[in-house]
Amino acid sequence: ASDLDSIVCAIVLALGMSTGTLDARLSLDPGSYVVAPVLNIPSSELALRQDAVFLMKRHDIPASNLLFFPELPQEALRARIKEGSLQLILVDHNNLGVEQQWLAEAVSGIIDHHEDSGMHAGVPLRVMDPAAGSCASLVAQVLLGEKEARREEESVMDSAGGRELLFGAPL
């Protein structure tokens, strides 16, 4: 869980979404939500991912900008699910862990290069390609494709930092 590919995808997708890139596809009201990359490890384990720590330092991304699932208040998440105000996009995995099944109704998207488990078939954002070498390549396709569809002037993929983060993951 949370290898370099997963970590980079979470960061870059959150950055791309914070600019409204996927609002139309996910039926989101612009500016009505907060986006954050969530890693599926305790924060104490991030230091063990030296490749990710290196890229984060290189791009001035402090660990304090990340959320770590084991440390999130589950009752608050359950309340948000109940009120319909929590949406999750899974990257680099297409199913939730056994202990996370309670989050299933909040899944609104999947971007993954692993074999399709068949879960969350009806979500509005579902990009699955087991032939892709990394999830980062699929996140890039999604962000670039949405930019093209919206004819945006600029996106996270236009920045050297966004491209280097994504292309650094598979290397």
Question: How far is CA 160 from each of CA 6, 45, 81, 154, 168, rounded to the nearest angstrom?
Answer: 20, 28, 36, 12, 12
- What's the mean pLDDT when you consider all of the chain? 87
Q: Please report the pLDDT score of residue 170 as a whole number.
A: 52
Contacts of 59 (CB under 8 A, 6+ apart): 161, 164, 165
Q: What is the mean pLDDT of residues 28-55?
A: 94
pLDDT higher than 50, residue 126: yes
Q: What is the mean pLDDT of residues 101-117?
A: 96
21 falls in which pLDDT band (50, 70, 90)?
confident
Q: Please report the pLDDT score of residue 32 as a whole number.
A: 86
